[in-house]
Structure 1
């Protein structure tokens, strides 16, 4: 994917927060990133919908700026393990950065496990980031906001995982989360206990939990982009024991049944809202 044009890279994003897109008043704009740790940038204006949007498990860390010039604010979100409500202010504009799945920025003064199912004020994790928060929040240009954050990221590092964890992440993503721990043992040559210890230390979760997240994201991606999705086939392709198991898991992680979610995506004109810049 590294050699694809940026627009094509954006079209192939597999780590999605669809309820944010559907909560956008009009367009949900995406921009690519040259920094190898960042998946993409995004911006949208929150609608006045009475229904609060959800964040779903994606295995990613997001930084979300509330671009209210009178009360500039930014929060860091770790991945939830199940769908959770998030609070957005109607008609406020938001600017977000989604780091690639598995990336833990080293400039955040928090552990990977502390970020799971949690969020923090950016200034609590980076006390000297006041200028960044104010400049990004006061800018009306998406491109300028992207440039500001790119400048901030110069010489910033990500925490280095063990080679084993990196190998496991790549393999789980390549298999859309449909992989057994025994397969990872064969892949790495390590015991289950060693794999879990290394992965937990780096990612703040177990390989099984991460696989569950990626499998959920794979189902969301297929429903978003597939023309004719048969849920029984999708359940089989992703390795669920049966369709009822898939339905229960999807509802727990996405806060809707696959059929209801599919209807919501179509009703909200999900794909037409997304604008690649």
Structure 2
């Protein structure tokens, strides 16, 4: 089975339970694996008999929980201080007999171990919300009580990207969801609706970030 893992500026923890799992050409070993922040789409391959579970975090949340960025899929040999019980969770997931019990096991662990207090700086959350509400990355200081330079530093530290890069990822994601929902659509109109300069610009962004064209959605 081959699936496309779309970029959403998220990060993930995977539990590679059995079999041959790959992201592109990178083999994912058995264990608890932290994935980098998603900046472009990646092809995930699962050979017959593979078993995989995972938790996907919203932008910046993964760093807020683990306090470390990873440049490539990395096996955790010990629990991060902020996430106790990951390694024992992996062992419990290995004993689960189906996906329903795996989801229930992960949900129970998350309810008991995720801190419910604010994980990321308020200014960063406000900046993320502003971009989701279609504010231009260069005009965020109009909505926040911090400088543009400080906004850039927050994005770099917590998400390893610029506000503009996050906007590009979000724009492509929204366009993909719209095309999927509405089926046969006029791509030139979609490009205009989601803020691309024209259809050719949208196609280039799709190829760069989603690794597909709008017609392949």
The TM tier, using the shorter chain, reads 0.7 to 0.9
Structure 1's unaligned 5+ residue stretches are 1-46, 263-277
**Aligned mates of 2:34, 2:108 — CA distance in 1:** 18
CA contact (8 A) 2:79 2:85 kept: no
Tell me which of 13, 16, 20 is aligned to 1:66.
16
**Aligned mates of 1:95, 1:253 — CA distance in 2:** 24
**2:104 corresponds to 1:147:** yes
RMSD of aligned Cα (Å): 2.6
2:91 aligned partner: 134
Distance of aligned partners of 1:255 and 1:160 in 2 relative to their CA distance in 1, 3 Å threshold: same
CA contact (8 A) 1:82 1:254 kept: yes
2:198 aligned partner: 242
User: Whose relative contact order is higher, 1 or 2, with alpha carbons under 8 Å and at least 6 apart?
Assistant: 1
Look up the SS of the partner of 2:18 in the other structure.
coil
Alignment of 1:150-161 (within 5 A): 150-153=107-110, 154-157=112-115, 160-161=119-120
Look up the SS of the partner of 1:221 in the other structure.
helix
1:120 aligned partner: 74
CA contact (8 A) 1:73 1:137 kept: no
Q: CA deviation at 1:231?
A: 1.1
**Aligned mates of 1:165, 1:182 — CA distance in 2:** 14
> TM-score by structure 2 length?
0.79
**Aligned mates of 2:15, 2:58 — CA distance in 1:** 18
Q: CA deviation at 1:212?
A: 1.2
Tell me which of 157, 162, 185 is aligned to 2:121.
162
Alignment of 1:216-235 (within 5 A): 216-235=172-191
1:94 aligned partner: 52
Q: CA deviation at 1:136?
A: 0.6
Q: CA deviation at 1:223?
A: 1.6
**2:177 corresponds to 1:186:** no
Look up the SS of the partner of 1:76 in the other structure.
strand
- Aligned residue pair count: 203
Structure 2's unaligned 5+ residue stretches are 20-28
**Aligned mates of 2:131, 2:204 — CA distance in 1:** 21
Deviation string 1:44-96 (CA, Å, 9 cap, x unpaired) is: xxx3xxxx544331111222223329x85232223332233444333423222
**Aligned mates of 2:106, 2:42 — CA distance in 1:** 27
